[in-house]
Structure 1
Amino acid sequence: MSASKGQRWVGGNRVELLENGEQYYPRVFDAIRGARREVVIETFILFEDEVGSALHAVLRQAALRGVKVDLMIDGFGSPGLSSEYIEGLGSVGVRVRVFDPGRQIFGWRINDFRRMHRKIVVVDGQIAFVGGMNFAADQLQGFGPMGKQDYAVELRGPIAREIHHFVLRAIALGGKGASWFRRRLRASGQGVTAPEGTAEVLFVTRDNGQHTTDIERHYRAAIRSARERIVIANAYFFPGYRLIKEMRRAALRGVLVHLILQGVPDMPFVKVAASMLYHHLLHAGVRIHEYTERPLHGKVALADHQWSTVGSSNLDPLSLSLNLEANVVVRSEAFNQALWDKLHHLMQNSCRQVRASDLTEWSAWRLVRSFCVFHLLRWYPAWAGWLPRHAPRLKPLGKQGPRGGSTRTDIV
């Protein structure tokens, strides 16, 4: 599939798959410790736990040695950070921004739609991390039965520069402006980024402007062109009608289509929603595997032996029609094989395969429900567009910190 406007395939990259927080956090923190000029982070969730405290420490250390540090969090996903936590960053020059914190009425948040759901880290414009992992202890296996199973990638090479431009542009569009963006690019000191590998990578985003369906379209194109195998592991699965149709068509033409979904959900409705599609998919030959060790939080997929994707986007109405998301699409046989090895191991050792004979609901109810689900899936991209849109903005709060930074939280 060709890239959409503003997105392009970039060659010469090294891409490494990272599984769970045990692999992800040490890599991210080591990269930040080695930063010379700049660290930019976007995350949906940042909790003030052992992981959030470790991030706090490495960001402070980076800022104290003169590194420019920008941290963007989502106001819905990260609502509980203490003033001490924020001021501890701002006092050394870390710029903290909150995407649309929203208001509360009688203790209820009323601005829940169109969240900043991306998880991106960029260091010196040379190393980038993209995936599904937030900064929270529940991304660690040691967290216990509710510790999440998840994936991210570390990227080195020219694609890191593309992602760097994107995260700086997001800050600029939030209120800093084009002149700030140009100054920041000059200050980063980037020339041409040397190739570091052989993988071709496309950085794909979903927003509420020009790129409303890009991630879903790449999924559909990969499924449509697959000839041997498709594996999709996704935490929150309730996609639109067109994606379901492509999966069914692929299975009916003989492609091995595997879905890995939550069997031990972090939220009960997740499994209920996905299971409403089981009959429709199983009868076309799609193989459904429920991951049963703990909650699945990954958002990854592969097709045949070259195409893979890893990112923040679930396959549900929130991610596909409302939230701001970011995935990388990778063309690399070696990376595809690495992801296949992980997912195949999951299917063989940690999943329960769902079979049509397991579904014993009354057929009349199934018929009525299937009719309702079909029309909901067919039309939800349209009705999702009616929901409120958030206009990004920056609002400086507080006073300047002692290192030319700020003790404020900017609202994006």
Structure 2
Amino acid sequence: MFSRSITLLDGGAEAYPRMLAAIDSASRHVHLEVYAFEREGVGSRFISALTRAAARGVEVKVIVDGWGSIGESRALASTLRAAGIRVRIHNPLTSVFLGRFWRNHRKLLLVDDSVAFLGGINIGDHYATVEGRPGWADLALELRGELCAQLGARLTAGASMLVAGPVRILLSGFGGGRRLRKRYLAALKQAKHEVVLAHAYFLPDVGFVHALKRAARRGVQVHLLLAGRSDVPFARAATMRLYRTLLRGGVHIHEWTATTLHAKAAVVDGERLLVGSFNLDPLSLVNLETLVEVEDADVAAQATHWVRRHMSGARPVLLEDCARSGLQRWLLDVVGLAVARLSERIATFIGSRRMRRRG
């Protein structure tokens, strides 16, 4: 019954047409919250759809992140405001001078409190198939029903957990994403047979790494689909420094190189799906994020198929692959450790600034 109200979407190729159709069908309000919004290409189609909605009297609100949409936000805001659309740039770069460093990393579209799209997909041609070039590997969920009305009521209410049937939506608030991390840890602890995890920016803390290894030690098949190439400089080096520890702990690693991996998803025992904007890295602990947890075998099976299909085209990483020469290994570990420590320190600094402002 619930599966009919939950649709798993494979990247921008599947998500964008349905998102645009939802905006075109809006009769009351549209809320779009996105980290990165490019004005050209597919972005121009969203601008047109939002403008048409506002022209027919729909209340339209758009929130973009000042860092994620750097170079685009001013012109985008000007265009949308001219069409009667409410626009907010979350913490523009000038806010750094006021001590506001945290980002709005959500990717969320809510239309008429009846249909919602949540996941890892920003608005830009990277995520779409253009001239035969496949888009970045990513996932989103389309949700319909009671939960959408709950979401509409809680969008500005800070940290929230919304529940309807087998679906939970978690919104991180001022306190950051630690509650979202706990949902991942709880799912790992309860895993009995298999965990398949696809994450673009995989820089977990020591506790999370131990949780993966504990699951593997008790016989759970743990498979990680990670980025073989990244849009973030040195991010892969930071992840690779964990490979030896994970492989020795019985965790299987696969690197996706055909396109850029941007997904943030996990499936546990073929029954529970976690997907959203939340990365397993320090910065997601202090950003505004979303996480959707679905306990539905049909939807989980679709997500498992998606991850396995990408794993079949990915490069398996073996322990001997980590046996580089002394200098190579030293350089990789030094760079990786530096990136990891820098990320942790930035997150700690941002978190402390937020708590001071809250106090």
In structure 2, what is the equivalent of residue 274 of structure 1?
239
Structure 2: stretches of 5+ with no match in the other structure: none
Q: How many angstroms apart in 1 are the aligned matches of 2:228 and 2:95?
A: 33
2:323 to 342, 345, 360: 360
SS at match of 1:103: helix
User: Percent identity, aligned pairs only?
Assistant: 34
The two structures have a TM-score, normalised by structure 1, of 0.77
Match of 2:110 in 1: 122
2:168 to 160, 185, 202: 202
Aligned-pair CA distance for 1:49: 1.1
Correspondence for 2:56 among 65, 68, 79: 65
Task: Give the conservation status (yes or no) of the 8 Å contact 2:238–2:337.
Answer: no
- 2:348 alignment partner in structure 1: 385
Distance 2:321 2:227 in 1: 16
Work out whether 1:167 is the aligned partner of 2:133.
Answer: no
Aligned to 2:146: 158
The change in CA–CA distance for 1:49 and 1:378 in structure 2 (over 3 A counts) is: closer
Q: Which residue of 2 aligns with 1:95?
A: 86
- Is contact 1:74-1:116 (8 Å) kept? yes
Aligned-partner Cα distance in 1 for 2:330–2:236:
19
Aligned pairs (5 A) from 1:12-27: 14-27=5-18
Give 1:305 shift.
2.3
Report the number of matched residues.
351
Note if contact 1:250-1:257 (Cα within 8 Å) is conserved in structure 2: yes
- The aligned residue for residue 281 of structure 2 is 316
Pairing of 1:227-306 with structure 2 (within 5 A): 227-306=192-271
Q: Name the amino acid aligned to 1:124.
A: D
Evaluate the alpha carbon distance shift between residue 269 and residue 146 of structure 1 in structure 2; reply closer, same or farther with a 3 A threshold.
farther
Structure 1 residues 132 and 372: alpha-carbon distance in aligned structure 2, compared to 1, 3 A threshold? closer
2:224/2:254 contact within 8 Å kept: yes
Counterpart amino acid of 1:206?
S
TM-superposed deviation, 1:18: 0.4
Report deviation, 1:38: 0.5
Distance 1:89 1:384 in 2: 32
Q: Is 2:65–2:92's contact at 8 Å kept on the other side of the alignment? A: yes
SS, match of residue 77 in structure 1: coil
**Residue type matched to 1:225 in 2?**
Q
Aligned to 2:37: 46
Counterpart for residue 148 of structure 1: 136
Is the 8 Å Cα contact of residues 3 and 299 (structure 2) preserved in structure 1? no
- In 1, the alpha carbon distance for the partners of 2:205 and 2:103 equals 19
Distance verdict in 2 for CA 1:281–1:36, change over 3 Å: same
CA distance in 2, matches of 1:72, 1:239: 28
What is the aligned partner in structure 2 of residue 177 from structure 1?
Answer: none
| Aligned-residue offset at 1:14 | 1.6
Q: How far apart are residue 287 of structure 1 and its match?
A: 0.3
CA drift at 1:157: 1.4
161-170 or 330-339, which deviates more: 161-170
* TM-aligned CA distance change 1:277 to 1:144, over 3 Å: farther
Aligned CA distance change for structure 1 residues 111 and 51 (closer, same or farther; 3 Å)? farther
Task: Determine which structure has greater relative contact order: mean sequence separation of CA pairs < 8 Å that are 6+ residues apart, divided by chain length.
Answer: 1
Aligned twin of 1:328 = 292
Matched with 1:179 is: none
Taking structure 1 as reference, are residues 243 and 85 closer, same or farther at Cα in structure 2, changes over 3 Å only? closer
